[in-house]
Amino acid sequence: MGTIDSMVKIKDKLISVEMAASIAKEYRDSGKKVVFTNGCFDILHVGHVTYLQEAKAQGDILIVGVNADLSVTKLKGDNRPINPLEDRMYVLAGLMSTNYIISFEEETPIQLIEAIHPDVLIKGGDYTIEEIVGADVVQANGGVVKVIDFVEGKSTSKIISKMKEES
């Protein structure tokens, strides 16, 4: 396969809320587990890749919600994101562990979770299940919520700090 074929596949992973809901329903109707997670994924690093691989292993399809730029700024501060939304989504779509990528403008992914109805909702190790947005929705629909441990010492904030030290 050539580069053009690869690019088409990556772009095919970038979907709308409506498409995500439809795809998730098709998978569930065929007895497969839909996994959802979300985050900023600003500077992709080994911690992100490991986390997404572990999330994918929890089911048959992984849908990743990505915070839009304004949402990242509200969460992380005025100097973030480093990479714009389109770049972050494209890089995530290039990973084997991700099936579909969808962006959201809101501060939380609750609207995505309500639309997709994932069987498994995953968040990183800095959350408790009680703090995870959408946990109640997933559990009310018979799904499970899981927390995956972070890779120790790996974070976008640490990468940014190191870059500042070295400049």
Q: What is the CATH number of the domain that holds 137?
A: 3.40.50.620
Looking at the chain, the number of H-run helices and the number of E-run strands are: 8, 5
For residues 167 and 102, what is the distance between their CA atoms, to the nearest angstrom? 34
Q: How many domains does the chain have?
A: 1
Longest distance between any two alpha carbons in the chain, whole Å:
53
For residues 13 and 99, what is the distance between their CA atoms, to the nearest angstrom? 6
For residues 38 and 150, what is the distance between their CA atoms, to the nearest angstrom? 14
Query: Domain residues for 27?
Result: 3-166
pLDDT of residue 155: 63
pTM more than 0.85: yes
pLDDT of residue 151: 67
Cross-strand partners of 67: 104
Q: Tens place of pLDDT for every residue, the chain, 167 residues? A: 444 445 548 889 999 999 999 999 999 999 999 999 999 999 888 989 999 999 999 999 999 999 999 999 999 899 999 999 999 999 999 999 999 999 999 989 999 999 999 999 999 877 889 999 999 999 999 999 999 987 666 666 666 566 667 76
Type of residue at 27: Y
